[in-house]
Structure formats: C-alpha cells, structure tokens
Chain A
Amino acid sequence: MGHVLELGRRVALQPMDAHCHDITVALYRDLAPGGTPFYAFHSYSCHPDAGLRLDFLAAAACHLGGMVASGARAHAVAWPCGAAHLSATRRLFVEVCKLAGPALPALRPPEADEARSGARYHVEGLGAGRYRLSADAPGDMSVRLRTIAGGFGKLAEMAVDEAAGPAVAFPCGHDHDRLVALLLPRALNARAAMREEESVAGRGVLVAPSAQNQPN
C-alpha cells in the first residue's frame, strides 16, 4: 500500500482515466520555493503504466496549453508568466485527459468553425495578453462575439473588453497563444463545457431518497 503525500491543494480530478486502466488522476496546485504556483499531475495508482500516463499528461499540458515543465516535482508544470490561471488550468486538465496518447496531437489553430451558424471564428493576438475575436460570416456577429468573449471569461477568467472588437485579456499581461487556441472551440459553447465538467464531478455523490428513489 502507498501512503498519502503532501501535494498541496487538489484542483482537478479525473476519477477514471479511460486511456489508462481507469486509474484516478489528480491535479494538485502548490507553490515552488520562490512562491510561484505550479501544478502537478499525480496518481496514487500502483499500475505500472501510471507513470507513463502522467508523463504524457504533463507533456500534453505543455504542448497544447503552453505550460512549461517545472522542476518542483515529478510531472509538474507551470505557466511561464508565473500566474496561477486556475480556471484555465482546470480546463486544460480536462482537455489533456481526453487524449489517448502517447503521441501528442497537432496544435490547435487560432480559429474554429461553428456548424450551427456556418461561421468561422478567429482569435488574433494583440500582445500583452490581449486577443481580438472576429468572425467570417455574413451579417452582424457582434452579439455572438460578445457571447464567445464571455465564454473565455468563464473558462479562463479573462477580462472582456467589448469596445475592442470584442477582445479578451489575461490579467497577467502575458500572451498564452496555445491556450487561447485550445479554448476557442469550448468558448463557442462555454455552458456545455462547464456542464461536462460538472457531470464528471457529480458522479459518486449520494442523492437523498426523495430525489433519486434510491435511499443511501
């Protein structure tokens, strides 16, 4: 049997990793000696494949999200800007856990198509952590763009500047191009993305007999 480790604060969980023998993978947040936040992928599983899976997930977070490896701990990653970006990191965790590995996927382009409207949306870096949203579509897309900007706000705690296009900005003032490209398809329907996270989190919670017809 293993032993519980002092890993910091758990911020995300994949209870059953379908790509690695149903092991549980968690993301822990801690502070490096200089006070910079870092995140570590961790599993208490003793399955022989668990370590390789954690290697892959950390590498995928760097590749797809633009995080960098942190020497603070095994399978640890951090944002190059030194900020925490907690919501964005949680979303990145969800995205990388979906990947089967071991090969890393192609980087996402800074654009995404929307089947419903036929529109193609773009994010364009403006520097200093700011990004302008635009759309290739007939008609006035300003309302839709504002909604997508709000999606970025929900998924990554980005500030929304409606006057500039609209534009969204990271509070750290640094660019995160890969992360923005990764988040764009989710920002098109942020509510669905958040429902997905809630659905995973809701498993294993007992419900009162009157609510479920199943007493516990």
Chain B
Amino acid sequence: MSQPISPMTSRQRVLAALRREPVDRTPVCNPTSVATVELMDLADAFFPEANRIPEKMANLAETSYTELGFDTIMPVFSIIQESSALGCKIQWEQKDNWPTVKMREPIWRDVEDIRIPPDLLTHPDTACVTEAIRILRRRHGDEVAIIGKTMGPWSLAYHGFGVEPFLLMALDDPGKTMQVLERLKEVTIAYGLAQIEAGADALTLPDHATGDLVSADYYRRFLKELHAEFAARLPVPIILHICGRTVDRMPYIAETGMAAFHFDSKNRPDESMAAVCGHCALVGNINNPETLFARDPEQVEAEVLANLEAGIHLVGPECAIPLQTSIENLRAIPRAVRAWHSAGGGARCHHHDHSHNNG
C-alpha cells in the first residue's frame, strides 16, 4: 500500500517526477516557453529584449511560476541563443513574434567550416541565459525548478547548414553527417554545463529529429548514442524535446538514459506511455495550436485529464506556446491538475515506478 506523500515544493516535485519517484501531485512543467504578449506587458519585459537582456529574460520567465502557477521556470524562450553565438544570422523580430535563425543564409557548407568560437559561453546571447538563471536562482532559491535549454547537434546543424542541405547530407553522406554531429555535440555539452553551473536544475535538449523529416531508423543511427552521451555527461535530468509524431522512436529514446521526453500532442498519451515502457518520464502534451491557442479552458482541462489518466509524469504544453495564447487557458492547466488530485486522482498518481534515472 502506498504511503501518503508529504507536501513538496515545486522544485522537489519536478525533480522527483523526472526521477519517476512518487510525488504529492503531478507537476506542471514548461520545458519550452510559456511566454505570451500579455505576460510581456505584465512583466514589462518584451521580445526581442527578453531574449537578450538577462533581467528582462528572468522577469518574463518567472511569470510561469508567479502568475500561471506552473512548477517550473524556463528562461530560454527561443532556440537561437547558441546559434547566435556560433555566428548564425538572426532575425530578432519584435514583441509578437519569435526570433529565428535565417537558415536561408547558412554559415557552413562542410564539416571543416564548423568553428566553435572561443566566446561561445561569453557571447551576449549565451551569457544572457546563464545570467538569467543566476538571477532566478537568487530570487527563488529552492522553491521552484529552473530549467535551462541546450540545443542538440541535429538542430544546430539545421541552423548552420540550413534544413534542406543538412537533410540531403544525411542522405548522401552519413559519415560526414556523423562528423558534423560529433563536432556540434561539444556545443551542446558546453552550453548545458554552463547553465548547470549557473543553477539550472534540469535541461531541455531540443533536437529536431521530427517525425515528418527524420525516420525512426535515422534517429537510431545518428542520434541515439549521442543522446545517451548527453545523458551521461550532463549531470542533471535531461528532457529531450522533439516535435511531431515520434512514438515510433520513443522506445529508442527511452534507452538513452534521458530523464524525460517532451512529447507532442500528435502522440496519444497512452500509446506514448506504452512506447517508453517505464524507462523515462514523459512531459507534455497539451496541444498548442488548436487547444491552448484557439479553444477555451474547458477543452484545455479535458486534455490535462487525458494525460493524468494515462499516468503522464509531468503535464504541460507540447512545445513553445503561441505568443497570443490566453492567460486563462494556461492557468487552466495547473487548476485541472489540482482538481484531479483533490478528487482522488492523486492516489493513482503515486504509482510512478521508483527507478532512478539520470541524476
């Protein structure tokens, strides 16, 4: 018979769930971004400055905890910080849109072109993140889980080579592709370690081997071992993030030692739980474009319940939410989680297996 769980802080709850240990309630987690234009006004911290100025980044990021009631703070809203430091051209955009890498202006054509600059970690756009993490840790102590983000080599290769050229390289020259990934993995490691040193409790590691671009076999051949290496070398729980339909590669992901997989709503919670077979936690998978963005809190709550009933370890949006998402839809997530536990759903929640995973 399971013992009642003492009340946990948000940080304790998240870290326990990432280890698949018992929790007092299912944590609400944002491994990517929950920034919105309304929260930018509220925090007086706007894109693009909130992606480039540590204080602004911290002010906007902490609203997920202070205003929305999530158990995590994720200050790395975008996916371009280290790519900027690598020399990619960035479209910084404005308040209502995401900064993006100008991938039609690639900076690399071959393996030899890849140069990791000596200022990778001191470049303003990477140092912004580490400084924001330090600010957040000072402000919030051990109350809330602070999650960093370090991009995987597959995504960095998209940024440096362009999506199409890199995918063609993977098709035509697997050996060269592996050399690219081997070089770029050091960026992933270095930036991840810098964020851990700054105070990150866990790291999201997006590596866009998405279902519509990359097959499960490609994942196994090119990325599985690299991801296992990240799990071994980065001494905090790692949350792998891949968009799209990925249930076919989840069994491979579950064997990498990653603490968790941040999964898309294109994958049903129950089939995803079956696919990882208890070997890693699952985080997600509330739909962004249809539910969080375009529907009402009742539909959000219904998706939250479907995840809770399936035993998903940490509930949250499937990816970075649209910047125009309503605050009431975001607040519906923790509200639904608490209501479910109050109604007795928590008894089923404590079943998470007790095997430890990745720090």
Query: Among the listed B37, B322, B328, B331, which residue makes an inter-chain contact with A9, where contact means beta carbons less than 8 Å apart?
Result: B328
Given contacts A3-B67, A22-B95, A45-B41, contact A9 B323 (CB under 8 A): no
Q: Which residues from B are CB-within-8-Å of A44?
A: 38-39, 41-42
Known contacts A15-B96, A214-B103, A209 near B208 by CB under 8 Å? yes
Q: Is the CB of A16 within 8 A of B213?
A: no
A208 in contact (CB, < 8 A): yes
Which B46-89 residues sit within 8 Å CB-CB of chain A?
Answer: 46, 59, 63, 66-68, 79
B138 to chain A, nearest CB (A): 16
Q: Does A201 contact B (CB under 8 A)?
A: yes
B10 within 8 A of A: no
- Do B327 and A4 have beta carbons less than 8 Å apart? yes
Collect the chain A residues with CB atoms within 8 Å of residue B79's CB.
Answer: 215-216
CB-contact partner of B319 in A10, A46, A216, under 8 A? A216
Query: Closest Cβ of chain B: how far from A18's Cβ, in Å?
Result: 11
CB distance from B291 to the nearest CB of A (A): 13
Q: B210 contacts which of A4, A10, A15, A209 (Cβ < 8 Å)?
A: A209
Decide yes or no whether B162 CB sits under 8 A from chain A.
yes
Residue B353 lies at the interface, judged by CB distance under 8 Å to chain A: no
A1 and B208 within 8 A (CB): no
Q: Digitize B20-58: 1 where CB-to-A-CB distance is under 8 Å, 0 elsewhere.
A: 000000000000000001111111101000000000000
Query: A216's closest neighbor in chain B, by CB?
Result: B79
Q: Does any Cβ of B come within 8 Å of A183's Cβ?
A: no
Provide the A148-180 mask, 1 if CB < 8 A to any CB of B, else 0: 000000000000000000000000000000000
- A1 adjacent to B324 (CB under 8 Å): no
| A98 CB → nearest B CB, Å | 16
Known: A4-B67, A23-B41. Contact between A214 and B95, CB under 8 A?
no
List A contacts of B296 (CB < 8 A).
Answer: 9
**1/0 contact string of B184-198 vs chain A (CB within 8 Å):** 000000000000000
Cα distance, A201 to B323, chains bound together (Å)? 10
Interface residue B243 (Cβ < 8 Å from any Cβ of A):
yes
Q: How far is the CA of A205 from the CA of B323 in the complex (A)?
A: 7
Whether the pair A203, B43 counts as a contact (CB closer than 8 A) is: no
The answer to whether B324 touches A15 (Cβ under 8 A) is yes
Contact A205 B59 (CB under 8 A): no
Q: Are B104 and A204 in contact (CB under 8 A)?
A: no
**Bitwise interface map of A from 136 to 157 toward B, beta carbon under 8 Å scored 1, else 0:** 0000000000000000000000
Complex interface bits, A83-102 against B, C-beta within 8 A gives 1, otherwise 0 = 00000000000000000000
B66 closest partner in A (C-beta): A1
Task: Evaluate contact between B213 and A209: CB separation under 8 angstroms.
Answer: yes
Total residues of chain A contacting the partner, CB 8 A: 29
Q: Does A118 touch B at the CB level, under 8 Å?
A: no
Bound Cα distance A210, B103 (Å) = 13
Tally A-B pairs: CB < 8 A.
Answer: 110
Residue among B37, B39, B42, B320 making CB contact with A16, cutoff 8 Å: B37
Q: When chains A and B are docked, how far (Å) is the Cα of A26 from the Cα of B40?
A: 13
- Give Cα A3 to B327, complex, Å: 11
User: Quick check: is B101 within 8 A (CB to CB) of the other chain?
Assistant: yes
B172 adjacent to chain A (CB < 8 Å): no
Which chain B residues border A10 with CB–CB below 8 Å? 326-328
Q: Roughly how many angstroms separate A122 CA and B67 CA in the complex, as a whole number? A: 49
In the assembled complex, the Cα of A213 lies from the Cα of B161 at a distance in Å of 11
**Interface assignment of A48: CB less than 8 Å from any CB of chain B:** no
Is B41 a contact of A24 with CB atoms below 8 Å?
A: yes
Interface residues of B in 169-183 (CB under 8 A from A): none
Chain A stretch 1-24: residues in CB contact (< 8 A) with chain B: 1-4, 9-10, 13, 15-16, 22-24
Contact A210 B210, CB 8 Å, known A203-B96, A204-B323: yes
Is the CB of B108 closer than 8 A to any CB of chain A? no
Contact of B164 with A by CB under 8 A: yes
Q: Provide the bound-state CA to CA distance between A201 and B322, in Å.
A: 10
Asked if A213 and B103 sit within 8 Å, CB to CB, the answer is: yes
Q: Is the CB of A1 within 8 A of B44?
A: yes
A134 contacts chain B at the CB level, 8 A cutoff: no
Q: How far is the CA of A170 from the CA of B41 in the complex (A)?
A: 37
Which 8 pairs show the lowest CB-CB distances between chains A and B? A204-B323, A44-B41, A15-B96, A44-B42, A45-B41, A205-B322, A215-B208, A10-B326
13 contacts between A and B (CB under 8 A): A2-B42, A4-B42, A10-B326, A22-B46, A24-B38, A24-B41, A203-B324, A204-B96, A204-B324, A205-B322, A208-B210, A208-B212, A209-B208
Interface residues of A (CB under 8 A from B): 1-4, 9-10, 13, 15-16, 22-24, 26, 43-46, 201, 203-206, 208-210, 213-216
Binding site for A on B (CB under 8 A): 37-44, 46, 59, 63, 66-68, 79, 94-98, 100-101, 103-104, 155, 158-159, 162-164, 208, 210, 212-213, 243-244, 288-289, 293, 296, 319-320, 322-324, 326-328, 331
Other A-B pairs beyond A210-B163, A214-B100, 11, CB < 8 Å: A4-B327, A23-B41, A204-B96, A204-B324, A205-B293, A205-B323, A206-B322, A209-B210, A210-B213, A215-B79, A216-B320
